[in-house]
Amino acid sequence: MYEFDWSSIPGALPFLWAGMLRTLQITGVAIIVGLVLGTVIAILRLSKNWLLSAIATCYVTGFRSIPLVMVLLWFYLLVPQLIRRLIGRSDVDIRLFSAFVAFSLFEASYYAEIIRAGIQSVSRGQVHAALALGMTGGQAMRLVILPQAFRRMIPLLLTQAIILFQDTSLVYVIGLAEFFGVAYNTGNRDGTLVELLLFAGAVYFILSFGASMVVRVLQAKAAP
Amino acid sequence: MVTLAARLDWSIFFKPAFDGSGTYLNFLLAGLEWTLLLSIFSWVLAFVVGSIVGVLRTLAGKRLRVLGATYVEIFRNIPLLVQLFLWYFVFPEIVPVLGTWFKQGVTPAMQQLIAGILCLGFFTAARVAEQVRSGINSLGKGQRAAGLALGLSLFGVYRLILLPVAYRIIVPTLTSEFLNTVKNSAVASTIGLAELSRQSQQLGEFTAHWYESFIAVTLLYGVINATVMIISRVIERVTRLPGYVGGQK
Amino acid sequence: MISMISIKNVSKWYGDFQVLKLCNTEIAKGEVVVVCGPSGSGKSTLIKCVNGLETFEVGEIVVDGISVGTRKTNLPKLRSKVGMVFQHFELFPHLKVIQNLTIAQRKVLRRGSKEAKEKALSLLETVGLAAHAGKFPAELSGGQQQRVAIARALAMDPIAMLFDEPTSALDPEMIKEVLDVMVKLAEAGMTMMVVTHEMGFAREVADRVLFMDEGEIVEDQPKADFFKSPATERAQQFLSKILSHGAQA
């Protein structure tokens, strides 16, 4: 029987907490940028201008057909060069910044699909009513369609955010240490990998499950 | 961008690989083999386990439903990478007989593959379970009642009436789940499995031709994607029932 | 006679199917015109062409001197002057009743929020719903929602009002409250184009009745003449079917 040794966990808690903050930081940035960019792409996909629509479709299809691991590797390759070219500084935390960029752009493609479905689920009658009152297309989108689309899509957007929260663990592949990375490194170093991995698993489970319960409550409230 | 494209050296794929396995092109294709191997075996496991759990969640017994729900929640709320590490590092230490076999009786490559299949299989099974459940539920209680009224056992009702239709309905979602499996297989690179994304990293490290490597691998993933989608359309067309278009009535 | 809405030789196709065939009519200022006909006759399509919600391939529509459908037309501006009421009310569910009335006033006509609110409340008073100003549309009955929708259109101080089957989606006991509002509007001198099956309304306040069938305006007569003796057989059949089912006051 394996002999569990939990002793290295208490000492590592400050570092694990710092790692969790990093996880939440990446998640937060990706959600915000992803939502904004995702909305733009969703609207472009529905645009009558075929070129804009095609570009948006390529974006979405492109990001959704390759593994997140590859996306992270790609941006870890590209971002440093781009930063050097644009800003000329190389003291920025490259790994973190490329993680921000990679996750934001990746998440945007998933959000774009959810938001597109949401926009399309608003009935044409609503669009007509808005236009009939003299609103421009832009006003109709901003004042009537998007508010309704987002209300409907909130459970799906939140669920996607929970998935993103879990996916941040993959920055392991570019050597960035967030919560999971810290847990692994600590366990590896102290020879207590088993305990740390179980601990990390438990923490993720509690946080994700808790968050998904909140989403379920919100869903029940919105559609009684 | 253009100067970059001009500077790419595509001949690298025809040069011999550092590990003597042939050209670098062969090197990448070997990675593709591992990716497909991992994906397909995981998918089979996921399909079987997922179907069982999905059916469990639609049965009348409360304990069975809770069991199914627990399974789904556990595998849905822990990141895939963490699950992989749990299978690769923790399971061999904790599980008595099998764990020892895993640690000693199997080559490292096999260890990686087995851990990968178990992880990806059980992870995906949770998602398949949800799709099977929603497929069965979309048929309504009437179908089940009609089957039972004819004298079929519950097992018979599921086998002959509910599942054949439910599976047809969820072909599109199952396809996208298989594609997710292929994408998720890249996670196995973290425990050293020589699948496609790992090969692309290795190629880059040894030749410094990062762009060529990544572009080639990205294209390969794209090709897999496109191929699976085409096959899926064929399956959808062949199994389509009149009155059920695009996955719903 | 000042022409408010002028429809000249308008034809429209959906692909190969011709949904409007050389429609011609004029509606003068202050006139109330009822458009009736079987389903699929194109009446909803025609009325939607008047404010540019639908496009047309051939012909011309002029509203208050502005041609609808030319590339240069400022459609939002035109639409802000012509009110439209829809079969399914189409109140904005995420806004309270009072906000439904003020949003276009503020965003399209650029009225101040105090002015918009006063106007909104006074209109709600006119349709008898001032007490419900703070509620959401989902909290109101169908008849109440439609009255709010009429008030919403009136808040823009339109020169003409278009009604697309305003009572077709209402339960019978709520039709009267909406028709009463429309009658009051007509008596106040509003130019109205009303697509409806409610012949009682037509008999009471219409000046003219148009009968459409298969995309054509088959009849265009003063109310009294239409009801006494429709010129065409199609109109006669339609009228007898409608009237025999008690669809009138």
Q: What CATH number corresponds to the domain at position A58?
A: 1.10.3720.10
**Predicted confidence pLDDT, tens digits, chain C (249 residues):** 688 999 999 999 998 999 999 999 999 999 999 999 988 889 999 999 999 999 999 999 999 989 998 888 888 999 999 999 999 999 999 999 999 999 999 999 999 999 999 999 999 999 999 999 999 999 999 999 999 999 999 999 999 999 999 999 999 899 999 999 999 999 999 999 999 988 888 888 899 999 999 999 998 989 888 888 888 888 888 888 877 765 544
The more confident residue out of B117 and C3 is B117
Chain A residue at shortest CA distance from B220: A66
Whether A213 contacts chain B with CB within 8 A: no
A154 contacts in chain C (CB < 8 Å): none
- Whether the CB-CB separation of C170 and C142 falls below 8 Å is answered with yes
Q: What is the pLDDT of residues A40-71, one digit of tens each?
A: 999 999 988 999 999 999 999 999 989 999 99
- As a whole number of angstroms, the distance between CA A129 and CA C104 comes to 11
Best mutation site among A70, A176, A188 for testing chain B: the one with the most B CBs within 10 Å?
A: A70
Strands C32-36 and C191-195: parallel
Contact B39, B178 (CB under 8 A): yes
Say if CB B55 and CB B66 are below 8 A apart: no
Banded model confidence at residue B247, pLDDT cuts 50, 70, 90: very low
Its sign, for the CA torsion B198, A159, B130, A179, is: positive
Does a structural domain hold residue A62?
A: yes
The whole-angstrom distance between C79's CA and the closest CA on chain A is 5
Average pLDDT over residues A131-136: 94
- Burial pattern B76-109, b for ≥16 Cβ within 10 A else e, equals bbbbbbbbbbbbbbbbbbeeeeeeeebeeeeeee
Whole-number pLDDT of residue C249 = 42
- Please check the confidence at residue B249 and state whether its pLDDT lies above 50: no
Using a CB-CB cut-off of 8 Å, the residues of chain A touching C48 are 128
The answer to whether B103 contacts chain A (CB < 8 Å) is no
Is residue A168 situated within a structural domain? yes
A212 touches chain B (CB under 8 A): yes
Assess if residue A220 is contained within a domain.
no
For A125, which of C83, C86, C109 is closest by C-beta distance?
C86
Amino acid at C38: P
DSSP B24: H
The residues, any chain, with a CB within 8 Å of residue C191's CB and separated by 6 or more, are C4, C5, C27, C28, C29, C30, C31, C32, C159, C160, C161
| Lowest-pLDDT range of A20-29, A215-224, C70-79 | A215-224
With beta carbons under 8 A apart, name residues in chain A contacting B205: none
Report if residue A196 sits inside a domain: no
- Please give the pLDDT value at position B248: 42
DSSP code per residue over A65-86? SS-HHHHHHHHHHHHHHHHHHH
Highest mean pLDDT among A149-153, B204-208, C132-136, C202-206: C132-136
Set of chain A residues whose Cβ sits within 8 Å of the Cβ of B200: 70, 73
Q: Which residue of B has its CA nearest to A77?
A: B210
Q: What percent of chain A has pLDDT over 90?
A: 66
Q: Which of A125, A134, A143 lies at the smallest CB-CB distance from C88?
A: A125
Q: What is the pTM of this model?
A: 0.83
End-to-end C-alpha distance for chain A, whole angstroms? 50
Task: Report the number of distinct structural domains present in chain A.
Answer: 1
Strand order across the C32-36 sheet:
C82-85, C160-164, C191-195, C32-36, C208-213, C216-222
Measured between CA atoms, the residue of chain B closest to residue A175 is B190
Using pLDDT thresholds of 50, 70 and 90, give the confidence band for residue B85: very high
In our burial notation (b when 16+ CB lie closer than 10 A, e otherwise), range B199-236 reads bbbbbbeebebbbbbbbbbbebbeebbeebeeebeeeb
Partners of B90 on chain A (C-beta within 8 Å) are 193-194, 197-198
* Domain span including residue A127: 26-173
Question: Closest-CA residue in chain A for C155?
Answer: A133
Contact C197, C221 (CB under 8 A): no
On whether residue A45 sits in a domain, the answer given is yes
Q: Is residue A222 part of a domain?
A: no
- Do B and A touch, counting CB pairs below 8 Å (3 needed)? yes
- Establish if C103 touches chain A: CB-CB under 8 angstroms: yes
Rounded CA separation C194/C178 (Å): 13
**A217, part of any domain:** no
| A157 falls within a domain | yes
Q: Chain A: which residues have CB within 8 Å of chain C?
A: 123, 125-126, 128-136, 139, 143-144, 147-148, 151
